[in-house]
Amino acid sequence: MSTNGSSLNGDQVRRSTSEVDRVDATAEKEPCRPLDEMVPDDQSQADGDTADDPRVEDLWGIAIDALKIRPPLLISSILDRPWTWIPPYRRFSEFKILNLWRLRRTIKYLINVNIPSIPRRPPPFGPPFLNSLFWQPSVILQRPDHYGSYTTFPDESWFLINGIMTNDSLAQLNAAYISYLFHRPVTLVQNSTNSFSIDMLQCVIGKEWALTTEPAVKAFPVIYDALKSRHKRKVVIIAHSQGTIIMATILRLLYSLIERKEPIGTEELAKEDYAPPEIILPDDLDFDPRDYEKLSEDELAKLEIYNFATCANIMQYANFEDEEKPVPWIEHFGNEYDIVARLGMQAPNPDRWGIKIVGPRYVNPGAWGHFLNAHYLFGIEDAQKVRRVRGGTGTALPYELANPEDVEDENMPRLFAYLNGGV
């Protein structure tokens, strides 16, 4: 697998949320624009036909490459092999969402993933049934740890950003399993499904056009607040599938807020360090990162990102000249035959399509499937979780490091050290 990542300056990674610049199809993609070059959200690309946009060609090329999977079992690349679909299912399996003994939950899930809805807060005058049917905004929820406590590991904040076709019931299942594996409370950024078609549209515009979609608008403030908090030592993000695209957008916005360290002895360092007030953004306000205070290098260094089936185009480090280690910490996990991972971290031709993903990339050889619990976390539990022993086994199993030439001394994922409440 070839190298597909490098660092960017923090003030060059913000692309306008409404303007798409033309680039040559074979040229390297431009870095995101800084804040002072942003344009209002109501402006759009005025000249040229969308069909002529080279990003359309890039997106098509990435998809065609991903489909060239051998053997060509495309359904198994998402659902795993057919014999794994047969019950009984393991605890926390996503297949349990379709359960005749919980018919109401099953019907609700099928409605949510098939009927298009609007990712906004419902109007106050609508009937509850129609509101829940046609309005599905992303929400922020709290999940306690495996013992029901919200206060364990008070110096850490853990977040889950889920992927497509995930309604509230499925998102809670994912969050519960993460709490069980890592013994920590989790803030669930529920990227609510708005049907398969609208979810896919959000993926496309977030991946190739780098536009700020509704889930990123909801997720940014809570992650930003955790990084700014003096009481937090670590801010850990677990992102899956579309969640990795959302996280890539959030990362660009965070980079746009970086305040570089001043030389020692300046007045800037003498200022009192205090957390900013909590910011609440109503749904009807346009999202603008200029509403937020600057983010220091030390605050950003708290961030750790663990991506499963990374399908974003660009996820890079901030470029700090005085930092010996990359900031933030980023790891990627992918199954060899997961077609979604082949859109990003395992893309066959990343340089051709402008895919730049940094950090250790761990691949599970011979593995199929795309579900977070059933096809990723189950394998980690089986290979790494030993009764109540804290931490993993000291290996990368069931994964192998796919890019050893890009990283040093990272044969074991850092994520595994947190199992069973490890640190």
Mean pLDDT of 311-327: 84
pTM comes to 0.83
Split at pLDDT 50, 70, 90, the class of 276 is very low
- In this prediction, residues 331-346 reach a mean pLDDT of 97
2 within domain boundaries: no
Q: Which residues pair with 142 in a beta bridge?
A: 187
Q: Are residues 179 and 236 in contact, defined by beta-carbon separation less than 8 angstroms?
A: no
Decide if pLDDT at 279 tops 80: no
Is the pLDDT confidence value at 321 over 90? no
Q: Write out the two tokens for 413.
A: 């994922």
Query: What's the token pair of residue 385?
Result: 């979780």
> What local confidence, expressed as pLDDT, does residue 417 receive?
96
- DSSP class per residue in 295-323: EEHHHHTTEEEEEES---SEE--B--TT-
In a domain, 213, yes or no: yes
Look at residue 270 and tell me if it is in a domain.
no
Which of 39 and 287 is assigned the larger pLDDT? 287
Q: Structural domain tally of the chain?
A: 1
Q: Which segment of 182-196, 319-333, 334-348 scores lowest on mean pLDDT?
A: 319-333
14 pLDDT above the threshold of 50: no
Contact 24/57 with Cβ under 8 angstroms?
A: no
137 assigned to some structural domain: yes
Query: What token pair was written down for 196?
Result: 């398969």
* Neighbour count for residue 265 (Cβ, 10 Å): 8
In a domain, 266, yes or no: no
Please say whether the beta carbons of 251 and 305 come within 8 A: yes
Strand order across the 156-161 sheet? 139-143, 186-190, 156-161, 234-240, 303-308, 329-335, 361-364, 400-401
Q: Is the pLDDT of residue 19 over 60?
A: no
Q: Among candidates 242, 83, 115, which has minimal Cα distance to 174?
A: 242
Average pLDDT, the chain: 83
Specify the higher pLDDT residue, 175 or 286: 175
201, 219, 239, 211: which is closest to 330 by C-alpha? 239
State the residue range of the domain holding 81.
10-38+49-260+275-421
Report which of residues 411 and 193 the model is more confident about.
193
50 vs 45: CA distance, rounded Å: 9
Q: What percent of the chain has pLDDT over 90?
A: 68
- Domain contains 269: no
> Does the pLDDT of residue 37 top 50, yes or no?
no
How far is residue 117's CA from residue 131's CA, in Å, rounded to a whole number?
9
> Residue 44 domain-assigned?
no
Across the range 68-77, mean pLDDT stands at 93
pLDDT at residue 392 tops 50: yes
Q: At what angle do helices 196-207 and 242-256 cross, to 10 degrees?
A: 40
In this prediction, residue 55 carries a pLDDT of 86
* Euclidean distance between the first and the last CA atom of the chain, given in angstroms as a whole number: 31
Q: Flag whether 163 is in a domain.
A: yes
pLDDT of 1 over the 80 cut:
no
pLDDT tier for residue 128 given thresholds of 50, 70 and 90: confident
